[in-house]
Amino acid sequence: MLKRPKAFLLLIVFLASCRFLPATTPPNLATVKPITPTPAATGSVSHLGLPWDDAALFTPGLVKNQQGQYSSLRGASVYHIALEIAPDLVNVKGREEVRYTNLETTALDKVAFRLFPNLLGGKMEIANLTVDGQPVTPEYGLANSLMSVPLKIQPGESCILGMDFTLSVPTDAERNFGVLASVDNVLTLAHSYPIIPVYDEQGWNAEIPPQSGDLTYTDAAYFLVRVSAPAETMLIASGRQVSNEKTGQTQTAVFALGPARDFMVTAAKGYEVQSQQVGETTVNSYAPVEFHKRAGLALKTAAESLGIFGKRYAPYPYTELDIVATPTLAFGIEYPGLIAITNRIYGPGDTYIGTPVEVYLESTVAHETGHQWFYNLVGSDQLDQPWLDESLTQFVTWQYFADRYGEKNAEGFKQSLTDRWARVQNAKIPVGQPVAAYDGAQYSAIVYGRGALFFFALRDQIGQEKFDTFLKNYTQQHIWEIATTEGLKALAERDCSCDLSPLFKEWITP
C-alpha cells in the first residue's frame, strides 16, 4: 500500500537521490540499443526533454476540482516513456525513466517492476538499467514478469530509474482476453511498459495473475508518454494528447495522464471518432467506420453513465474519456480514461449469443465506465480483493439502469446478477476472496453475481438514504487511495451506526 504521508512538504526537502548498489557484473539482456540519448541521470529533465515537476502538463487533463491534486501527490511515481511502434504493429521499442519516491515508512533495498507482456504471450526484454544514471543488475522472477532493481532508498528519498526495452506483441487474442495483442490492424498495448506494483505489508505485492481476472495492482502515478507509430493509424490513449506531429510515414504524439493507475494506448487502422461533451469532459467513441451506429450508442451510454456516477459518487476526474472497439475476447476492459469494448458487440449482426447486441453494449459500456470510479479513482487489490472493484461495479451498472430508466426497468439487469449466482446453485461462497480462490465458473457467479447482490442486501439493511451516503463517502474518502474490505465495512458501519459483522459474515468474509 502506498502510505501517503500527511506532510508533503517533507518530500520536497527529501528529493535527494537514493543510493544505488553498483553492478558487479554488466547488465544482462544488454542487447537493446537505446532509442534516445542517455539521459542526465538526476537532472530536472527526463529523456523526453520534459521536466519532472511540470504540473502544467497534467492540469489541463483534469477537471477543475482535481487540478489541485498534482501538488498534493508530489511523491507519486512519475513515468516518462517513449514507445516506438514499428510499421508491423507488432514490435515496439521503448525507453522509460521513472522518478520513484519511497513513500513507505521503512527503507527499501529494491524497487519492483512488473513486466506483464511476459505473461501475456508477448516478450519484453530490459536493457541499460540504471539507478540515478549508474548501471545496475536486476533480478527476475515470476516467469520474467517481475524485475527487482537493487538499491537503497530511505523513506522520503527519490531516485530516477532508467531502462530501455523491446516488446513483441502476440498476434492472437488468446491470453488474458487479448489485452495485449495485434489483431486485425488493431494494436492494443495494455500494460506494455515496466510498471511499479504496490508495496504493502507483504512487501512488493506481486504474483502471477490468474487468467480469469485483471492483472494490475498499482498506486496512482503520472505518465508522460511519447508514442511514434505509422501515420496511417489512429492513436487512442489514456489521458490528454499534448501534441501530434506527422513526418513522412510516421506520427509522433505526446500524451499526459495523471493521477492514474496505468496507461493504455491503441493504434488502429480504419477507425473514426464520434464525440460528446459532458460538463468539462469530452467523451470520444472510436470504432471501425462500419460500426458507426453502435459506436454512437456506446458514446451515449458512456456520457449518461458519467453524469449518473459523477453525481452519485464523485466527479469524473479527467477532461477526456475514450471508448474503443477492439478485438478483445472480454466484453470490455477498463483502463484509466479509456475503456476497450469488444467489437463483437458492435456488429455486424443484430444479436450475439442469441441476445440483441445493444443489450450487451449498453451494460458493458456502463460497467467499464463504472470502473473509472471503482478501480482507477478508488484503487483496490484487483487480485486479492476483486469484489471491491468488480462486485461494486456490477452494482453501479444496475444503478445506471435504475437512474436512467427507473428501477422497474432495471429489473432485467438485476435478474442477470441473480442468474449468474444461480450458475453455482446459489452456493454461499464468500464474495471477498482472491481471484485465485475461485474456479472459472465460481469467479463469475460469485464476484460478478452474488457480490453485486450483497450491495442490495446492504441497502435493504441500512436503508436507501444511508446507503447512498455511504457509497458517496466511500468513494470520496478513497480518491487516489487504496480501499480494503475492512475499510469499506468500517465506513458502512459508521454511516449506519450499526454492526454489519453478521451481514459481512454471511456474504463477504470466509
Contacts with Zn ion, residue ranges (CB under 5 A) = 390
CA distances from 462 to 91, 314, 428 (A): 54, 21, 21
Nearer to Zn ion, 127 or 330 (CB): 330
Least distance to Zn ion from the beta carbon of 462, Å? 25
Nearer to Zn ion, 164 or 390 (CB): 390
Least distance to Zn ion from the beta carbon of 189, Å? 20
Nearer to Zn ion, 284 or 382 (CB): 382
The residue assigned the cell 516513456 is 81
Could you tell me if 193 and 79 are in contact, meaning their C-beta atoms sit under 8 angstroms apart? yes
Nearer to Zn ion, 138 or 432 (CB): 432
Nearer to Zn ion, 347 or 386 (CB): 386
Least distance to Zn ion from the beta carbon of 60, Å? 29
DSSP string, 31-62: TPPPSSPPP-TTSSB-TTS-BTT-GGGTGGGB
Helix (H, G, I), strand (E, B) or coil at 326: strand
Q: Which three cell numbers stand for residue 444?
A: 463469475
Nearer to Zn ion, 390 or 481 (CB): 390
Q: In whole angstroms, what is the distance from residue 485 CA to residue 473 CA?
A: 15
Least distance to Zn ion from the beta carbon of 344, Å? 17
Q: In whole angstroms, what is the distance from residue 16 CA to residue 317 CA?
A: 31
Q: What is the residue type of 30?
A: A
Least distance to Zn ion from the beta carbon of 393, Å? 5
Nearer to Zn ion, 47 or 420 (CB): 420
Least distance to Zn ion from the beta carbon of 389, Å? 7
Beta partners for residue 230, in sequence order: 250
Least distance to Zn ion from the beta carbon of 387, Å? 11
Q: From start to end of 103-249, where are the E strands?
A: 108-114, 123-131, 134-135, 139-141, 146-153, 158-168, 180-183, 186-189, 199-200, 203-204, 221-230, 234-237, 240-247
CB-side exposure of 431: number of CA atoms within 13 Å? 24
Nearer to Zn ion, 390 or 403 (CB): 390
Q: In whole angstroms, what is the distance from residue 387 CA to residue 389 CA?
A: 5
Least distance to Zn ion from the beta carbon of 215, Å? 13
Helix (H, G, I), strand (E, B) or coil at 7: coil
* Range 60-80 burial, b when 16+ CB lie within 10 A, else e: ebbeeebeebbeebbbbbbbb
Could you tell me if 281 and 319 are in contact, meaning their C-beta atoms sit under 8 angstroms apart? yes
Least distance to Zn ion from the beta carbon of 265, Å? 20
Q: In whole angstroms, what is the distance from residue 388 CA to residue 374 CA?
A: 7
Nearer to Zn ion, 136 or 447 (CB): 447
Taking only Cα atoms into account, the Rg of the chain, rounded to an integer number of angstroms, comes to 22
Nearer to Zn ion, 259 or 332 (CB): 332
Least distance to Zn ion from the beta carbon of 506, Å? 24
